Amino acid sequence: MKPYNGLLAMKFTLTSPSVQLPQAPSITLFPHSPKFRVPFLSMLLQPRPLKKWLLIWALCFYLAFCMWCFFEFEQPRLDKETYIRFGADSPTYWEAVNYRSEHAENDSLISFTGNLLGPVMIGKLLRTGLAVAFFNILLFFLAVEIACTIPGIDRYFLVFLLVVCSETAPALVTLNKEILVLLSTILFAKYIYSEKRSWLLLGVILVISLFARWEQILVILLFLFLRRKGSFLARNPKLAIASVIAMLTVAYALIAKLPGSGIGAFTQYTKGANTIVKLNAIQANFGFPLVLAPKILMDLMGELLRPWTFLAEFGYLGWGDIHSMIIIPLFSIALITLLVMAYRRGKLNPQRPLAFLMIIYMILTAVTPFVQPRYNYFVYVLLCLELARKDDPEQDAVSSSATAMA
């Protein structure tokens, strides 16, 4: 390095930071147009096996048939053009709705002998039979969706079992309690099979049950009591069933002997009366265990046990009472068929929670002094859930343990 003016030249290097110039935005053209997803349309168009497609279209035709029944039978009756009875107590409920709309609401809708709360409140809110039909169909699909959240439930088989029941058609298009029974029953099954049981869900179940039948609340609370955590009866379901029978035997006999109880007045005329009155007379004298089996059989089979009387009534009533003459006998056939299927598959073992619930319900239904097969719609829904559910050993172990009210 050469000196400059007596000084050595020094070399300095300065590093300048790199600067990136902004680029003009680029425009990308997509060769395909954007896709919009329509929820129900995409659900209907997604790939499915042929068997499932056939079941979906069969359900559509079934709903169309139900609406045809509404316009053919229910709407003309609401317009007072005909008096054909398609729904069980639909005429009574609409009369109660009209009465409460025209008079002061100072009478109770819930009593020991009846419960009009649910149907009357729905009728007052929706006002027309067509609105009630659409509301019932909405509750039906809601109940199915809730049922499908239970592990192992086959959606298509469950819907198939529900719609082959003759009581489901009037439940969808008339003012009735059965649609509320369907929803509350499935909710309670969901509660039973839940690993973490919710007080909120239980409260909803009890409220919906109150709108249907107050007796259903008694069944639910009794079931929870018998299967509570750490209970001796929860580990011995057969003993629990025997204790329920013993309790009802004593309670019914004591109430029947009370003056003015209503039960005593019903059972005092036994000479020359029909079978149910004679069975009630035995039951009123601490004989409920003796009449339990025949009364359950009568509740299950209904008109099928007396074909000649049924034919005589059909000759008198004709097609004026479709519910009594056609729907109830077909319901009994469907109910008995599902009971046989459940028994052959081992699903009526009282160790199973839903089977235990069914047995308790049928016992409590049998203690009533009258025969009403459609009250067993609660049992029918439980049978549908059991038959449509694939057994899961781990889940069964959880649900078969004592039901804690948590």
Rg (CA), the chain: 32
Residues 6+ apart with CB under 8 A from 3: 9
pLDDT at position 404: 45
User: What's the mean pLDDT in 317-337?
Assistant: 88
CA atoms within 13 A on the CB side of 138: 6
Q: Where are the alpha helices (DSSP H) in 127-236?
A: 129-147, 155-163, 168-173, 178-192, 199-212, 214-226, 232-235
Mean pLDDT of 19-24: 56
pLDDT value, residue 405: 47
152: left (phi over 0), alpha (psi -120 to 50) or beta: left
Max mean pLDDT among 107-121, 207-221, 251-265 falls in 207-221
Q: Which residue has the tokens 């709360």?
A: 117
What pLDDT, on the 0 to 100 scale, is given for residue 142?
A: 96
Span 358-363, average pLDDT = 97
pLDDT class of 369 with cuts at 50, 70, 90: confident
Q: Answer yes or no: are the C-beta atoms of 236 and 227 closer than 8 Å.
A: no
Residue with the bigger pLDDT between 8 and 276: it is 276
Q: What are the distances in angstroms from CA 135 to CA 18, 124, 401?
A: 69, 13, 36
Distance CA 238, CA 350 (A): 7
Cα 272 from Cα 253, distance rounded (Å): 22
* Cβ neighbours for 237, distance < 8 A, ≥ 6 positions apart: 226, 350, 351, 356
Q: What is the mean pLDDT of residues 304-333?
A: 81
pLDDT attached to residue 21: 55
233-253 residue pLDDT tens? 999 999 999 999 999 999 999
| DSSP designation for 374 | G
Residue range 221-244: mean pLDDT, rounded = 93
Segment 50-62, tens digit of pLDDT? 888 888 899 999 9
Q: Which of the residue ranges 8-17, 109-118, 368-377 would you say has the lowest mean pLDDT?
A: 8-17
pLDDT for res 295: 95
The pLDDT-based confidence of 229 (bands split at 50, 70, 90) is confident
- How far lies 321's CA from each of 114, 315, 365, 378, in Å? 22, 11, 24, 23
159-169: per-residue pLDDT in tens? Answer: 999 999 999 99
Hey, how many other C-beta atoms are within 10 angstroms of the C-beta on 3? 8
Q: Which of 184, 159, 186, 166 is nearest to 88 (CA)?
A: 166
| Residue 176 DSSP symbol | -
Provide the H-helix boundaries in 227-274.
232-235, 237-256, 263-267
In the chain, what is the straight-line distance between the N-terminal and C-terminal CA atoms, in Å? Answer: 92
Which tens digits make up the pLDDT trace of 70-101? 999 999 999 988 888 999 889 889 998 988 77
Cα separation of 18 and 6, whole Å?
38
Most confident among 47-56, 77-86, 129-138, 296-305 (mean pLDDT): 129-138
Question: How deeply is 45 buried, as exposed, middle or buried, from its count of CB atoms within 10 A (0-12, 13-18, 19+)?
Answer: exposed
User: Please, which pLDDT band fits residue 231 given cuts at 50, 70 and 90?
Assistant: confident
Q: Which has the higher per-residue pLDDT, 143 or 3?
A: 143
Which pLDDT value is given to residue 158? 96
Q: Output the pLDDT for position 220.
A: 96
Higher pLDDT, 392 or 347: 347
- Range in 301-305, 332-336, 401-405 the model is least confident about: 401-405
Residue 271 pLDDT = 47
**Mean pLDDT of the residues in the chain:** 84
Q: How confident is the model at residue 270 (pLDDT cuts 50, 70, 90)?
A: very low
